[in-house]
Amino acid sequence: MRSQVFAEHTTVLTSATLKLGGDFTPIASSVGLKDSERVDSVPVPADIGPDEAAADDLEDRAIPWRGLDVGSPFEYRRQGILYVARSLPPPGRDGLSDASLAEIAELLEASEGRTLGLFSSRKAAEVAAVYARKRLPQLTILCQGDAQLPELTRRFIADEHASLFGTLSLWQGWTCQVRHASS
């Protein structure tokens, strides 16, 4: 992304989850940006734009970037619950235990759906979805892979009793908007 996107175009990355531990550096590094090039530590040359660099020079040229946290309208204390099931056996290589599946179903029933379930593997999410659908047919249980993510998200938001199961990528999903510097 560094040489093909950031060096060629003004780019805006947006997401609810770009910061990790209060810092943009991990996600910036994962897409080719260097912490030493943040605009608060590297002056932006006024006379050099992205399109003026030689193509073979793009990897080595500094690409200044800035991270901006605009906050969240989500009221975590009022709208979220973190539940730790201390009585369950520790996770193992054999997948979800029967006790874990039963606990998930009980939590879904108590909350009448309205749950984002994140699992360490797609298979675990699918197993939990199958179990919950059988045990709670009155609730809508969506699972990553049932449809494209935009459709799953739309259905999850539209149905207040829906639950969505998937992997960490559901939580870390982010979108990228690219515009030419001259736009």
pLDDT in tens, 127-164: 999 999 999 999 999 999 999 888 998 899 899 899 99
Which of 92, 120, 116, 122 lies closest to 104 in space, CA to CA? 116
Token pair recorded at residue 144: 């990553």
CB 146 within 8 A of CB 125: no
CA atoms within 13 A on the CB side of 58: 16
pLDDT at 128: 96
Q: pLDDT: is 82 or 132 the higher one?
A: 132
**Predicted confidence band at 43 (pLDDT cuts at 50, 70, 90)?**
low
- Label residues 62-85 b or e (16+ Cβ within 10 Å = b): ebbbebeeeeeeeeeeeeeeeeee
Token pair recorded at residue 88: 């369950």
Mention every residue, 6+ apart, whose C-beta is less than 8 A from residue 47.
Answer: none
Which of 166, 113, 117 lies closest to 143 in space, CA to CA? 166
On the question of pLDDT at 178 being above 50, the answer is no
Average confidence score pLDDT of the chain = 80
**Predicted confidence band at 75 (pLDDT cuts at 50, 70, 90)?**
confident
Q: pLDDT: is 156 or 91 the higher one?
A: 156
Environment class of 172 (CB within 10 Å of its CB; exposed 0-12, middle 13-18, buried 19+): middle
Q: pLDDT: is 125 or 53 the higher one?
A: 125
- Cα gap 179→4, rounded to integer Å: 13
